Amino acid sequence: MVCIALAGCSGGEGSGAANPDNSGPTLGPAELAILVAEGDTTGESIARAYQRARGVPDANVIRVRVPATGDEIAATDFATLKATIDARLPGTVQATLLTWTAPSRVVGTCTMSITSALALGFDAQWCANTCETTAPTAYFASASRRPFTDFGIRPSMMLGLGTLAEAQALIDRGVSADGMVTSGRAMGTGWLVRTNDVARSVRWPDFSTLASQPVSGVVLNYLDNSSGTGNNAVANQNNVLFYFTGLATVPQIGTNSWLPGAAADHLTSYGGHLPLGLGQMPSTDWLRAGATASYGTVAEPCNITDKFPRASTLVNRYQAGDTLLEAYWKSVRTPGQGLFIGEPLARPWAR
């Protein structure tokens, strides 16, 4: 961390809209748009693979010119891009999936992730400046199944992997996850790790509380290495469905075997600053190890816990039948600086 602020912004669970639409099924292929950058041949191939796997309608595949050549896009150019996308999205669309890996950040008076900027619009309230609290969303912890209808938010996720082979493997994991727990096809393990990295382990109270709660089909393990006398890493474990920790770089993640639909992330400053994480472990390393989705921040957030996933909310919403995109987005109270990556429609607890 460049800066350390031990006091995160607090606040209760989001209650959602006055009358959120939670009566229907969770998000599905008809409610998801696939965004493709014109001229990106790999992204085009990934989009076709995803469309085939999930049955996304042709009308929901949106090809746009992305005016950026590097890892970031200027806020002025992004405004034009978002307006073009919004104008072309069918009215049924509630969420979006990006098939490109760059740009991943929108830079103006401050820096937002491109997934949050697409969902919320670029505005300084969502990213502020280094070590400041940022605006919360009403979608946080809500029961809504129609985020755009209820809140005017289309949560977005970047597939995150830059080769067709890697992307196809990720897509296959997401599809394989559907109904996995409710059908009894798999029993998972979850790992909630308090490391001896004090600044990055500020989520530990939530970890400890979550570990004491029953989760259908999952055995949760809380590991406390705050003393530094044990091991900060989880290695050689089977059927991992959750892994949440706090370190600049998490070792040995590739030694674990991962269930389809697994969610994993580490609290650090630049996990979402793709492709290389500015010297820290990029969140894409979780996907390459075998997870199905992850999260990381694109600009210095300090260790304000509301800017990172709340594990208890993610697990509870996932267990309630939400897709991985919904569960991850609902777990971050102030997501403006955070990049969501992975396969969005994975749903191990099918309704």
Torsion of CA 93, 318, 160, 233, to 10 degrees: 170
How far apart CA 153 and CA 150 sit, in angstroms, is 8
Confidence of residue 25 (pLDDT cuts 50, 70, 90): low
For 137-151, give one letter per residue: b (16+ CB within 10 A) or e.
bbbbbbbbbbbbbbb
What pTM value is reported for the model? 0.93
Residue with tokens 């370190």: 247
Report pLDDT digits (tens) over 247-305.
Answer: 999 999 999 999 999 999 999 999 999 988 789 999 999 999 999 999 999 999 999 99
Q: Is 228 exposed, middle or buried (0-12, 13-18, 19+ CB in 10 A)?
A: exposed
Report pLDDT digits (tens) over 36-49.
Answer: 999 999 999 999 99
Q: In this prediction, what percent of the chain has a pLDDT beyond 70?
A: 93
Q: Map out the domains of the chain as residue ranges.
A: 28-183+262-351
Residue 24's pLDDT is: 55
Spatial contact of 114 and 126, defined as CB atoms under 8 Å apart:
no
How far apart CA 47 and CA 61 sit, in angstroms, is 8
Record the tokens describing residue 242, joined without a space. 């959750």
Instruction: Return the beta strands (E) in 22-181 as ranges.
Output: 32-37, 61-64, 72-74, 95-98, 105-107, 111-113, 156-158
Report pLDDT digits (tens) over 117-146.
Answer: 999 999 999 998 778 999 999 999 999 999
- Measuring CA to CA, how many Å separate 274 from each of 16, 75, 105, 119? 31, 18, 9, 19
Spatial contact of 244 and 311, defined as CB atoms under 8 Å apart:
yes
3-state secondary structure 138-186: CCCCCCCCCHHHHHCCCCEEECCCCCHHHHHHHHHHHHHHCCCCCCCCC
3-state secondary structure of 221: strand
Spatial contact of 332 and 295, defined as CB atoms under 8 Å apart:
yes
